[in-house]
Structures are given as C-alpha cells and as structure tokens.
C-alpha cells in the first residue's frame, strides 16, 4: 500500500512539475508583432483626373447633394508605387447652387470632394476641390501625377454652359478664364451678353471629365488587390 501511495505522490509531483514548466514557457513566449503598414504621401496640389458618374443639373440638385466620380488615371507614389488604381470611386458633394438669372447671368455650382474608395474596399478621406485639366494649369512628373502651380486653381466652380448642355469651369479668384469641358459651351457668350435672356443652367453630363485638386496631403498604403 505504501508503495502505491508513493507512486501516486511521485506521479502527481511529475505532473505538477510538467504543468509549471509548460506555463513558464507560455509566459516567456512573446506574441509576434504585427507588420507595420507603410504609408506614402500624395502631396498637396496634386490633381486627379476623374469622370463623373451622374448628371448634375442646377435646376434639380440642392446643397449637400452627394455624387460620385471614377478615377481615370491611377495615383502613384513618388517612387512609382500604385496607391489608388484606375476605377477607384471619388465622392463629391455640392456646397452651393445659384440658379440662372434673367439678366443673362448663368447658374453656378460649387462642389468639394471628401473621400476615395479603392476597388479592394479601402477608404480614405481627402480634402479636394474642383479644377480644370488644362496643361497650363500644372506640371506632370514621370509617375503620372499632375501638380497645379497656382492656388487659384482650387477656387473653381461649375458655371452654366450652352443650350446643348455643356458646362464651364470658372475660377473665382485670379481672373482666370473658364475652361470649356462640355458640348455646346460656345453659346455661353451670347447668353451672357443678351441682358434680357435668362442665363444657362449648369448641366454637367455623366461621363464629363475634370480635375480634383488636393487641398491637403493624403496618405495611402501601397495598393494590393483583394
């Protein structure tokens, strides 16, 4: 009987020793650190080419109306890494609408851009404004990024175009001339000079391309599909 008791005590002691040793091993095992995500900065004044996905009409939209655009050209980092691929969705919002007036003044519409969603589901907030895509408005580098040279390029709005539903981007400051981006905008001059005529409404057709200029830098990780 004594031998059996001794054997049980010895076995119990061995088990306790095993559990204590195993527990110490777990305590000493540190969890592996998660890999850090590296972010790349898209600088302020960078201009993205986008294509609007819906019609915008000053007769129908109201302040705070939301719309989306599709990124036409990919966005790259300075060292050539893709950050936002073609087809990403850029979200915009109408901040002010003024209807056309009978003295020939065309309608105007102010918009801002607040975010971009990539095809893999990644979403990033941005602070962007409307701008034109004229070559004189900025310089481009070998990564395909366009940078505007004048701050007045971010102070732009849509103004009413011609009867065919065109649109004009007009600068608020700097005395810049509007850039025609739609069909039939040549009629806008006649509409303005005809003081008894009502000015043209803003009619931005789905598929119209224009620029989004960044008011603040935006950071993205390297894009990875899925």
Residue 3 has pLDDT above 60, yes or no: no
CA 10 to chain centre: 70
* CA distances for 131 relative to 20, 22, 49, 68, angstroms: 69, 65, 10, 16
pLDDT at residue 174, rounded to an integer: 46
Percent of the chain with pLDDT over 90: 47
What is the distance between the alpha carbons of residues 71 and 144, in angstroms, rounded to a whole number?
Answer: 13
Q: Which of 27-31, 39-43, 198-202 has the lowest mean pLDDT?
A: 27-31
pLDDT (mean) for 131-135: 75
pLDDT, tens only, 186-200: 444 443 444 557 788
pLDDT at residue 166, rounded to an integer: 62
What is the distance between the alpha carbons of residues 65 and 127, in angstroms, rounded to a whole number?
Answer: 17
- Which residue did the predictor score with more confidence, 121 or 100? 121
Taken in order 118, 83, 139, 127, is the CA torsion positive or negative? positive
Q: How confident is the model at residue 133 (pLDDT cuts 50, 70, 90)?
A: confident
pLDDT (mean) for 192-221: 84
Residue 11 has pLDDT above 90, yes or no: no
Residue among 136, 114, 125 nearest 212 (CA)? 114
What is the distance between the alpha carbons of residues 112 and 107, in angstroms, rounded to a whole number?
Answer: 17
pLDDT, tens only, 147-182: 444 444 567 899 887 544 567 787 654 444 555 555
Q: What are the counts of helices (DSSP H) followed by strands (DSSP E) for the chain?
A: 2, 17
Contact 145, 151 (CB under 8 A): no
Residue 127 has pLDDT above 50, yes or no: yes
The set of residues, in sequence order, having a beta carbon less than 8 Å from that of 33 and lying 6+ positions away, is none
pLDDT at residue 170, rounded to an integer: 78
In what helix (H) or strand (E) does residue 91 lie, and over which residues does it extend? strand 89-98
- Which residue did the predictor score with more confidence, 149 or 35? 35
Tokens of 221: 């990780």
Q: Which of 11-20, 55-64, 192-201 has the lowest mean pLDDT?
A: 11-20
Residue 91 has pLDDT above 80, yes or no: yes
Nearest 5°: the CA angle 69, 72, 78 is: 115
Helices (H), the chain: 2-28, 188-193
Q: Which of 39-43, 105-109, 134-138 has the lowest mean pLDDT?
A: 134-138
């Amino acid at each position: 009987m004594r031998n059996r008791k001794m054997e049980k005590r010895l076995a119990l002691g061995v088990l306790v020793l095993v559990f204590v040793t195993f527990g110490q091993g777990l305590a000493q095992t540190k969890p592996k650190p998660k890999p850090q995500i590296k972010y790349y900065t898209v600088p302020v004044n960078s201009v993205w080419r986008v294509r609007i996905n819906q019609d915008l009409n000053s007769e129908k939209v109201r302040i705070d109306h939301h719309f989306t655009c599709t990124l036409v050209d990919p966005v790259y980092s300075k060292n050539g890494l893709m950050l936002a691929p073609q087809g990403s969705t850029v979200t915009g919002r109408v901040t002010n609408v003024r209807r056309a007036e009978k003295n020939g003044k065309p309608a105007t519409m102010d918009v801002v851009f607040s975010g971009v969603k990539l095809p893999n589901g990644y979403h990033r907030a941005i602070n962007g404004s409307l701008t034109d895509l004229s070559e004189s408005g900025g310089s481009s580098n070998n990564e395909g990024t366009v940078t505007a040279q004048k701050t007045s390029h971010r102070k732009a709005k849509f103004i009413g175009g011609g009867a065919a539903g065109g649109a004009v981007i007009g600068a608020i400051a700097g005395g810049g001339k509007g850039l025609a981006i739609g069909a039939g905008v040549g009629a806008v001059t006649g509409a303005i000079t005809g003081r008894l005529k009502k000015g043209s409404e803003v009619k931005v057709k789905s598929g119209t391309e224009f620029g989004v200029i960044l008011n603040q830098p935006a950071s993205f990780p390297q894009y990875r599909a899925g």
